[in-house]
Structure 1
Amino acid sequence: MRSLLHISNPSACKKHCCSTCRCIVIVIVPATVSLGLFLGALAAASNVYFTSPNQAFTFPRPFSSGCDIFSGDWVPDPDAPYYTNDTCSVIHEHYDCMKYGKPDLGFVKWRWQPDGCDLPRFDPWRFLDRMRGKSIAFVGDSLARNHKDSLICLLTRAAEPKPSWPSSKQTVYYYGEYNFTVTNFWAPYLVRHEQIDEDGPAHTGLWNLYLDEPDGVWAAHLAELDYVVVSASSWFYRPSMLYEAGRMVGCHYCLQPNVTDLTLRYALRMATRAALRALSGADGRFRGTAMLRTVDPSQYEGGEWNKDGNCVRTRPNRRGEKTLEGVELDFRNLQVEEFAAAEKAAADAGGEVRMTLMDTTAAMILRADAHPSKYRGWTPEKHFTLHNDCVHWCLPGAIDTWNDMLLHMLVPA
């Protein structure tokens, strides 16, 4: 392994499913990673869904008094990285850019600097002390797993966990000295789902989504969790049949007669709503801190995801050089709206649940330099060809900032 220690239509189908790209947004098995990558790319590729050019990309209020950690810019960090692929064994091959020969490794030498305040680098000892006797779960798709891997790697300076796999959709890391547990739940739609056609109208499968039923993979564990980070978006580009209250209400790109296409926006909104409702504390199960992480932007340049699109930059963009737009802007806006409603619901339920928004979108849209591109491992599945990955994040790298933010949100300055 290379160590960072040594560096100072069919037109209808094409129109609706493959024209602007995006790929996967916390646990999956390797076979699922490739599928998520494809569909993450789909987001960046689709120009069928668009946003009014007058629609603003706004930030929520600062998380803590006087400091909006989500608004800022990237500045040099000569001390990075804080782990390598030699010191951290959990890095999935999909994110191990060093092992697979990424030539420009300067992307690790940056940190996020909020406006008017500081965001300290992740302190693993402080984090573990804060989490003593507690548990945190990452719920979502492969970008959620990407986030989890970053956290485990950052903690390796202080402690090594004991891993276990209760099921193919759940991974657990236990830190015995601290009685602290990190759990990853593979729940790419957040809600209950089932595949009904492995090919489907876009060759990416056709799925039933039960938009008002949180996925039992994670929801069954709510009473035992102290912190839950939810994030999902990219799997919603896949064709799906949409159900509420046990009844089909429409679909997304199912191409079936007499079925209303409600769009992927509707599906994501309702699934996010169901997940946040389960975390609001209304049913008495969850009594901890719930975090919603916003959508990651796609980073393809020079072409679409399947037409030589790539991410070959060697430096971050400066603020203002790249802006969120299209369906990704819509996704982020609806996430913020659903979060605001859930925050109110939690307050109305007695305020025992703390709702927080991890708005990483603005920071990550500037980091097209920090994706794997072709420098990662991946075994293509039946219907997929290997393409550049400009959606997931190299480890170590820019995604480590999410855990800088996480610690600040758990222990505000």
Structure 2
Amino acid sequence: MPVRKGTFRSDVADKVLPKSSNSRRSLAACDIYTGTWIPDNTSSVYNSTTCPYAEAGFSCQDNGRPDSDYLKWRWQPTGCDIPKFNAEDIRQRLRGLRIAFVGDSMGRTQWESFICLLMADIRNKSSVYEVHGNTITKQRPYLAVRFSASNFTVEYYRSPYLVQEGPPPKPAPKRIKTTLKLDKLEIAESRWMQADVLVFNTGHWWTTSKTFARGCYFQLDKSIKLGLSIESAYRTALSTWASWVKMKVDLSKTQVFFRSYEPAHWEGNWRNRLCKSETKPVPNTSYTEDFPHLQVLHDVIQEVAAPITVLNITSMSAYRRDSHVANWTRGRNVVDCGHWCLPGLPDWWNRLLYAALLQKRAGVWA
């Protein structure tokens, strides 16, 4: 499919791009990832009634959350502004194209948010549908929602590690149930590479509980690496992924993003976790946590020299422990300080994705 340019209408531009002034930098020169959360009373543009793709377990308002304060904040970059999420403009640009989110359940949440934002002003909701008639569940390895009136799809591929998980080579110690093949991407990678915009994420499954505790170890070629640390394995897997992007993806057509790791907030015991009672962001000046996943990501992309854009939502998400699902979910007794309410913080990840696409000025975003 050829790259289309020049589809950005001037009348849409007036609505999308923030007005520059002598005191604020233009979008092109803007560090959209450094800033602060400021009060904002703008209402959310969707809910579970207007968007069935907002996962029921994450629809905090429907699940009894009594406050809506967590929705009344706006991300303000330092010294510049970001554009509003213009659904009409995005639908126009995406005509005939594919955008795919690849990663874990946090990636699925961003995928759901993106769909809900795009369909908020569409009157004929039936024109937006899941291609195979599937419902959204954690077990679905592939989901694709089609916007038939604009002829494009928004896809999600479940891949918590991005690399392949499978049975270990024989012989192997009994404690080893599966291995992560750090030098092989998921089998579905042949379907990813044809998309026009790719948004990857991985990070939350690179923990002891999601690897060694369930009998999952690391493998390179046919050799199990029992002494390899999780951080080293994560770095190797990201190198495999970045090298694949550089060698296999048609980067003259496809825009590639990696959305950085967003911190969870599990402070406190399971009955009294801090995220349960928070109603506003943590002040920037009080948050000093290091983010090793983010540093590894930057190092790998620099080493591989791949043209990948890091959608750096780590710091902005670290301040938002008030926006977690907490106990406003369905069918669970454990307070969830990892996943996020919809609508909520993931909508801002997509606001930054839209701004980053406009910044790149490539393909239909030129």
Per the normalisation by structure 1, the TM-score is 0.71
Equivalent-residue separation in structure 2 for 1:232 and 1:101 (angstroms):
30
Residue-by-residue CA offset, 1:339-370 (whole Å, 9 max, x unaligned):
2234x1x3xxxxxxx42110000100110111
Residue-by-residue CA offset, 1:1-33 (whole Å, 9 max, x unaligned):
xxxxxxxxxxxxxxxxxxxxxxxxxxxxxxxxx
2:146 match: 174
2:5 match: none
Give the 3 Å change call, closer, same or farther, for CA 284–145 of structure 1 in structure 2.
closer
Q: Unaligned 5+ residue runs, structure 1?
A: 1-61, 197-202, 251-259, 347-353, 380-385
Q: CA deviation at 1:323?
A: 2.5
Give the 3 Å change call, closer, same or farther, for CA 322–264 of structure 1 in structure 2.
same
Given that 2:47 and 2:54 are in contact with CA atoms closer than 8 Å, whether structure 1 keeps it comes out as no
Equivalent-residue separation in structure 2 for 1:249 and 1:120 (angstroms):
47
Given that 2:58 and 2:340 are in contact with CA atoms closer than 8 Å, whether structure 1 keeps it comes out as yes
Equivalent-residue separation in structure 1 for 2:103 and 2:258 (angstroms):
10
Q: CA deviation at 1:206?
A: 5.0
Equivalent-residue separation in structure 1 for 2:238 and 2:26 (angstroms):
21
Per the normalisation by structure 2, the TM-score is 0.80
**Residue pairs, 1:3-402, within 5 angstroms:** 65-159=28-122, 160=125, 161-165=128-132, 168-194=140-166, 207-217=178-188, 219-237=189-207, 238=210, 239=212, 240-250=216-226, 260=227, 262-280=228-246, 282-283=247-248, 287-301=253-267, 303-304=268-269, 306=270, 308-311=272-275, 312-325=277-290, 329-342=291-304, 344=305, 346=306, 354-378=307-331, 386-402=333-349
Equivalent-residue separation in structure 1 for 2:130 and 2:177 (angstroms):
33
Cα RMSD between the aligned structures? Answer: 2.4
Given that 1:323 and 1:365 are in contact with CA atoms closer than 8 Å, whether structure 2 keeps it comes out as no
Counterpart residue type for residue 243 of structure 2: R
Counterpart residue type for residue 239 of structure 2: R
Equivalenced residue count is 313
Q: Secondary structure at the match of 1:297?
A: coil
Counterpart residue type for residue 338 of structure 2: V
Equivalent-residue separation in structure 2 for 1:401 and 1:272 (angstroms):
25
Give the 3 Å change call, closer, same or farther, for CA 389–247 of structure 1 in structure 2.
same
Give the 3 Å change call, closer, same or farther, for CA 79–338 of structure 1 in structure 2.
same
Given that 1:310 and 1:389 are in contact with CA atoms closer than 8 Å, whether structure 2 keeps it comes out as no
Equivalent-residue separation in structure 2 for 1:124 and 1:74 (angstroms):
23
Q: CA deviation at 1:378?
A: 4.0
Equivalent-residue separation in structure 1 for 2:28 and 2:186 (angstroms):
35
1:382 match: none
- 2:356 is the counterpart of 1:403: no
Give the 3 Å change call, closer, same or farther, for CA 102–116 of structure 1 in structure 2.
same
Q: CA deviation at 1:307?
A: 6.1
Give the 3 Å change call, closer, same or farther, for CA 315–137 of structure 1 in structure 2.
same
Counterpart residue type for residue 406 of structure 1: L
Given that 1:166 and 1:172 are in contact with CA atoms closer than 8 Å, whether structure 2 keeps it comes out as no
Counterpart residue type for residue 116 of structure 1: G
Identity of aligned residues (%): 27
Give the 3 Å change call, closer, same or farther, for CA 245–163 of structure 1 in structure 2.
same
Q: CA deviation at 1:64?
A: 6.2
Q: CA deviation at 1:399?
A: 1.7
Residue-by-residue CA offset, 1:46-78 (whole Å, 9 max, x unaligned):
xxxxxxxxxxxxxxxx99642000000011221
Q: Secondary structure at the match of 1:99?
A: coil
**Structure 1, 398-407 or 159-168: larger mean CA deviation:** 159-168
Residue-by-residue CA offset, 1:79-107 (whole Å, 9 max, x unaligned):
22121222111111221101111122111
